Chain A
Amino acid sequence: MSTTEILFWFLSALALAGATMVLISKNPIHSILWLIVVFFAISGHYVLLNAQFLAIVNIIVYAGAIMVLFLFVVMLMNLNSDTEPQKNNWLKIAGAISGGSLMLIMVDVVRSAAELQNKTAMVKEGNIGLIKNLGKVLFTDYIVPFEIASVLFLSAMVGAVVIGKKESGEPANM
């Protein structure tokens, strides 16, 4: 078993265990911390696939910005206790069965697909994930979507401020 395979299996196990813990943690803060573990494992996968730009962006944007935003909201609402009165066990069972069925069907399709037999993802080599190649394509062929993304961010920023603004007639009890 080569080092690459050991790393692949380790990162996969870490991602799956983290995702499961996100699901079954009672405390929302623990869920967020486990989700950060999942994001780091996925970034590890990106590094293994030599997509280094995406690995760094994944850590900065997801683990750095988005998860801190989640933590901030959870702590702002003082939700760090078990605030989820879950009494409907049938709901859990039905959700697990339907999600599991979806997984079984998709895994079976992938395993039996003729187009995917003997195809390999190139690991540890290839330079399309480096920032030089990505930047060249991004700023020549994809410059219009890149600029539209700035408009999207502006509208998201305005929308978040408008939605999150306290109404003037509302008592300040939060």
Chain B
Amino acid sequence: MPIQYYITLAIVLFCIGVVGVLTRRNAIIIFMCVELMLNAVNLMLVAFSKMHHGAALAANPNTIAGVEAQLFVFFIMVVAAAEVSVGLAIIVMMYRNTHSVDVNFLNRLKH
């Protein structure tokens, strides 16, 4: 598969996430769009990993070039899981204070 197909797919997914963050006002949906952007980046990293592996395989049949990108994706997933737990706790706290998850109510640092 040409690498440009994968990059274009990742870009379109990323931009859908950007539009979601910009247009939606529900904090949970904004958070989900951030997850969508992270996944678009993960997909592109895996595609690049396979691209470099394919190029290195021609020189050395036993190479493991490109394995670092997949480990990078693994660590992105780790950080995303930690981020989601803290972020959802913040959203629950926000709902408890304002009885809404609309981010337009969050225009003051102090109530």
User: A residues bordering B, Cβ < 8 Å?
Assistant: 4-5, 8, 12, 15-16, 19-20, 22-23, 28, 31-32, 35, 38-39, 42, 45-46, 49-51, 53-54, 57-58, 61-62, 65-66, 69-70, 73-74, 76-77, 79, 83-86, 91-92, 94-96, 98-100, 102-103, 106-107, 110-111, 116, 118-123, 126, 128-129, 133-134, 137-138, 142, 145, 149, 152-153, 155-157, 159-161, 163-164, 166, 170, 174
Tell me the complex Cα distance, A51–B51, Å.
12
State the majority secondary structure of interface residues on A: helix
B106 at the interface (CB under 8 A from A): no
- Interface size range of chain B in the complex: 35 or more
Which B residues are in CB contact (< 8 Å) with A66?
Answer: 35, 80-81, 84
| Contact for B78 among A121, A122, A152, CB less than 8 A | A152
- Is A119 a contact of B51 with CB atoms below 8 Å? yes
- Is B28 a contact of A149 with CB atoms below 8 Å? no
Tell me the complex Cα distance, A161–B32, Å.
21
| Contact for A62 among B18, B25, B39, B100, CB less than 8 A | B39
- Is A35 a contact of B15 with CB atoms below 8 Å? no
Tell me the complex Cα distance, A170–B22, Å.
33
Min CB distance, B37 to chain A, in Å?
Answer: 10
- Is B93 a contact of A62 with CB atoms below 8 Å? no
- Is A122 a contact of B12 with CB atoms below 8 Å? no
- Is A16 a contact of B13 with CB atoms below 8 Å? yes
User: B residues bordering A, Cβ < 8 Å?
Assistant: 1-9, 11-13, 15-20, 22-26, 28-29, 31-33, 35-36, 39, 42-43, 46-51, 53-55, 57, 64-68, 70-71, 73-75, 77-86, 88-93, 95-96, 100-102
- Is A69 a contact of B84 with CB atoms below 8 Å? yes
Tell me the complex Cα distance, A164–B22, Å.
27
- Is B51 a contact of A122 with CB atoms below 8 Å? yes
Which B residues are in CB contact (< 8 Å) with A122?
Answer: 50-51, 53-54, 57
In the complex, given contacts A98-B19, A126-B57, what are 16 additional A-B residue pairs having Cβ atoms less than 8 angstroms apart? A12-B5, A15-B13, A22-B20, A22-B29, A31-B32, A49-B50, A66-B80, A103-B15, A119-B4, A119-B55, A120-B51, A121-B6, A121-B50, A128-B64, A145-B75, A149-B79
